[in-house]
Amino acid sequence: MNRLRRKKEETVKVGPTKTVTDLDRLFNNDKEIVDALMHTMFLDPRKVGMTSKDAAEKGARFEKVKNELMANTWYEIAGSLAIYEGDVDKVVEYFEKCQGLMPISEYTVLKNPEKMVTKAQEYYKQTLH
């Protein structure tokens, strides 16, 4: 009969926890950089199998046929690949296209793209080469 009784659950209160990611460690917990890059950079862009130019061309094709969602997706991919390629001008171009297509989206990488690309390049040098 004792086996059917529920054991009293023990709860232990602990303070708030925070998950520390590799990006947090690499960027010294710089919230601006981590937030901007977490949502825009690929951890291993080599697996995508195309260049930012190729992805942007796909985005342009979808933009021509008024498929904003797919155009936005491909421009995001293009912007992420441009981060990997270290091309600040293209990062700005592609993510500005995204914001134009989906104005509700805010791409914080655009606030300081030079810094974001530089930090992403540090990550890629440490992890991919």
pLDDT above 50 (res 14) = no
φ/ψ bin of 49: left (φ > 0), alpha (ψ from -120 to 50), beta (otherwise): left
Q: Residue 125: CB partners within 8 Å, gap ≥ 6?
A: none
Measured between alpha carbons, how far is residue 64 from residues 68, 88, 99 in Å?
9, 25, 17
pLDDT above 50 (res 85) = yes
Predicted confidence band of residue 15 (pLDDT cuts 50, 70, 90): very low
Q: Which amino acid is at 95?
A: F
Predicted confidence band of residue 28 (pLDDT cuts 50, 70, 90): confident
Q: Collapse the DSSP code of 117 into the 3-class scheme (helix H, G, I; strand E, B; otherwise coil) and give the result.
A: helix
User: What predicted TM-score, i.e. pTM, was given to this entire model?
Assistant: 0.79
Amino acid 104: pLDDT = 81
Question: Rounded mean pLDDT of 2-25?
Answer: 52
